[in-house]
Amino acid sequence: MKKLFIAALAIALPALCPAASLTVTAVNPLAFARPSQTIELTRQQLAPLDEKDLTKIHVKDSTGKELIVQAVDVDYDAYETPDIVIFQSDFGPNETKSFTVRAGKRQKYKPSDYKAYGRFVRERFDDFAWENDLIAHRTFGKALETWKGEPLTSSAIDIWSKLTPRLIINEWYMMGDAFYHTMTDNGGDDYTSGPSRGDGGNGLWAGDKLWLSKNFVMSRELANGPIRVMFELDYDPFDVNGNTMAETMRVTLDAGSQMDHYHVTFKPQGAAGGLTAAVGLKKVKGDEPDFDVAAGALAIWEPMEKKRGMQGVAVIVDPKTFVKEAQDKLNHLLVIKASPDDSADYWAGFAWDKAGKITSAEAWKQYVHRFAQGVESPIETSVSTNP
C-alpha cells in the first residue's frame, strides 16, 4: 500500500509543481514585415509558472536576450492587479519566433527603457497629453472651456509633431506654450484642432448630423510605460438629437506605432439603442482623402500648417460596422454602428514627413492599409510548458 501511495505521488508531483519556464511561439500570418509588434500574455496563459505577481515575469528571445516586459491592468479593478504582460518584437514576412518566459525578480526599468507615457496636465488648463517614440497628442479638459485667454470647448484629438524618439511632453509643458508652439529640433505643436474632430475624435450621428461631447471632466491612468500608455477619459452627458448621452473613452498607444487604439463606451441617460457613431479627421485645404472600404481605412495626406512639410492622418474602423462616409463643415467622417453594448472601437493616428519615417502619400497609404490588415490578422501566439 505504501509503495502504491509513493508511486501515485510521483505521478502527481509534476502536475503540482510549477513549470520552470514557458515557450511562446509567435507567428506573423502576413506576407510583409511588421516591426514593433506587441505580444500579450494573459494571466491564464502564465498560470503554469505559479507566479501571482505579473511584474515578476521575464521574457527572453531565441538568442537569450532579455526583453522589456510590462505588466498591465486592463480591467482597472479595485486592487489594480495586472491581468496581462506585454512585450514587443519585430517580425519579417510570415516569420515565426519563439520566446522563453520565466518568473524572477520584480521588473526594474531605466528611464531610457520608456517609449510610451501620458499624464493629466493640470497646469495647462486640464490637458491630457500622451506620446510614444514616434507621435504625441493632447486633448482638452474642463478648465479650458472657461480660460479667459483662449477658451475652447472641444473633444478633439490634437497633434503634437515629434522629431525625436525621446519622451518630451513634460519638457514642452515645462517650457510653456510659446516654446512648443515654435518648431524646434525636437518638433512642436503645429496643428490647430479647434472644435473639429482633429485626428480621430468621435461623436454620435443622429438626424443626419454629428453630435459632440464637450471637454473631458475626469481622467484615469491605467498603464504608463515602458511599452504601453493607456488611460480613460470621462465626458459629461450631452445632447444627441433630444437624447442625453455620457461617454467614456479608453485610449491605448504602444511604442513604435503611428496609430492609437480608441475604445469608446456611450452611456445613454434614458431610453436609447441602436446607436450610430462617427469618427472624424479635420478638413485641411489641399488634403487628399483616400478611403479603402474593404479595410475600413480613411487615409489623408495633407499640407502642414505654416508650410512645414506634409503629414498623413488616418482612421481605421471595423469594415463590418461601417455605415457610410460623411462630411460636415469641419470634418471628414466615417459613420459606424455601435456594438449592442453601446461601444465602438477604432484606430487613428498620424505621421509627419519631416520625421523621416513616412515621407509620401503612397507610403502613408501603404502603412495605413497594412496596419488595418494587422488589426484583422494579429500576431498569432501559442504557449507551451517546459519541464
Structure-derived torsion over alpha carbons of residues 84, 87, 90, 94, reported in degrees to the nearest 10: -30
Quote the CA–CA distance of 93 and 37 in Å, as a whole number: 13
Q: What is the pLDDT of residue 179?
A: 57
- CB within 8 Å of 55: residues ≥ 6 apart: 71, 82, 106, 107
| pTM, two decimal places | 0.93
Flag whether 13 is in a domain. no
The C-alpha cell at 35 is 516591426
Note whether 201 and 168 are same-domain residues.
Answer: yes
Instruction: Per-residue pLDDT tens, the chain, 387 aa: give them.
Output: 444 444 444 444 444 567 799 999 999 999 999 999 999 999 999 999 999 999 999 999 999 999 999 999 998 775 568 999 999 999 999 999 999 999 999 999 999 999 999 999 999 989 999 999 999 999 999 999 999 888 999 999 999 999 999 999 999 998 876 556 677 788 888 899 999 999 999 999 999 999 999 999 999 999 999 999 999 999 999 999 999 999 999 999 999 999 999 999 999 987 667 899 999 999 999 898 999 999 999 999 999 988 889 999 999 999 999 999 999 999 999 999 999 999 999 999 999 999 999 999 999 999 999 999 999 999 999 999 997
Note whether 133 and 171 are same-domain residues.
Answer: yes
DSSP 1-42: -HHHHHHHHHHHHHHHSPPSEEEEEEE--SSS-EEEEEEEEE
Q: What is the pLDDT of residue 274?
A: 86
Note whether 85 and 193 are same-domain residues.
Answer: no
Flag whether 4 is in a domain. no
Note whether 134 and 276 are same-domain residues.
Answer: yes
Q: What is the pLDDT of residue 184?
A: 77
Q: What is the pLDDT of residue 12?
A: 43
Q: Domain boundary at 104, 137, 172, which?
A: 104
Quote the CA–CA distance of 329 and 96 in Å, as a whole number: 47
Note whether 158 and 292 are same-domain residues.
Answer: yes
CB 18 within 8 A of CB 101: no
Note whether 93 and 158 are same-domain residues.
Answer: no
CATH code (residue 37): 2.60.40.1180
**Residue matched to cell numbers 522629431:** 163
Note whether 87 and 197 are same-domain residues.
Answer: no
Quote the CA–CA distance of 225 and 71 in Å, as a whole number: 9
Amino acid at 8: A
Quote the CA–CA distance of 161 and 352 in Å, as a whole number: 7
Flag whether 292 is in a domain. yes
Q: In residues, how long is the chain?
A: 387
Flag whether 384 is in a domain. no
What per-residue string of b and e applies to 311-331 under the rule 16 or more CB within 10 Å gives b? bbbbbbbbeebbeeebebebb
Q: What is the pLDDT of residue 190?
A: 84
Note whether 78 and 181 are same-domain residues.
Answer: no
The C-alpha cell at 321 is 460596422
Q: Domain boundary at 104, 127, 143, which?
A: 104
Flag whether 8 is in a domain. no
Flag whether 382 is in a domain. no
Note whether 77 and 172 are same-domain residues.
Answer: no
Note whether 129 and 85 are same-domain residues.
Answer: no
Q: Domain boundary at 70, 104, 138, which?
A: 104
Give the residue numbers spanning the domain of 245: 113-376
CATH code (residue 337): 2.70.98
Is the link from the previous residue into 151 a cis peptide, with omega within 30 of 0? no
Q: What is the pLDDT of residue 9?
A: 41
Give the count of domains, the chain: 2
Flag whether 181 is in a domain. yes
Flag whether 12 is in a domain. no
CA-angle at 296, arms to 94 and 73, nearest 5°:
70
Single out the residue of 332, 366, 339, 333 nearest to residue 351, CA to CA.
Answer: 366
Note whether 210 and 145 are same-domain residues.
Answer: yes
CB 360 within 8 A of CB 376: no
Note whether 220 and 326 are same-domain residues.
Answer: yes
| SS3 state of residue 93 | coil
Q: What is the pLDDT of residue 8?
A: 42
